[in-house]
Amino acid sequence: MAAIVLMALSAGILFVVGLLHLVYTFWGPKLTPRDPALRIRMGEVSPVISKETTMWRCWVGFNASHSMAAMLFGLIYGFLAIVHTQLLFSSAFLLVVGLAMVLGFVVLAKVYWFSRPFSLVGISLACYVASIVVSRV
């Protein structure tokens, strides 16, 4: 039972972080540059790869897809932990893929983000690893 709760908590944290990030992407100023001129310039400049978009549209799209990835992880691993516990904890593949995903979020948070998301994904990682350890005992 503890393994299920820990895995669901890990998944839930990432789901909520992803959901908040999605909300911040489309509503409010939290993910906009502090310099209004930079925001305007991002809307005018295209990336080298294509003139069909702007850096601002890329920024919004990357943030939205990033949010969706965290939410998808939370939904799938939360569902597996609660509904298909045996499948999840007996599958080395699912456990390694999930671990790689959470570790990836932790590395990204440490290198590119800031302290609050780093702390939250760190807690998610700790819960994830603890759930595996507890399930093996």
- Structure confidence by residue, pLDDT tens digits, 25-73: 999 999 999 999 999 999 999 999 999 999 999 999 999 999 999 999 9
What distances in angstroms separate CA 66 from CA 34, 78, 83, 85, one per listed residue? 21, 18, 26, 26
Percentage above 90 pLDDT, the chain: 99
CA distance 31 to 25: 6
Mean pLDDT of the chain: 97
- The pLDDT of residue 134: 97
CB 102 within 8 A of CB 128: yes
- The pLDDT of residue 124: 98
Residue 137 has pLDDT above 90, yes or no: no
CA distance 88 to 99: 12
CA distance 100 to 112: 18
Average pLDDT over residues 100-128: 96
Cα angle 35, 39, 42; round to 5: 135
- The pLDDT of residue 96: 98
Percentage above 70 pLDDT, the chain: 100
Question: Please, how many CA atoms are within 13 Å of residue 101, restricted to the half-sphere of its CB?
Answer: 21
Average pLDDT over residues 80-95: 98
- The pLDDT of residue 120: 97
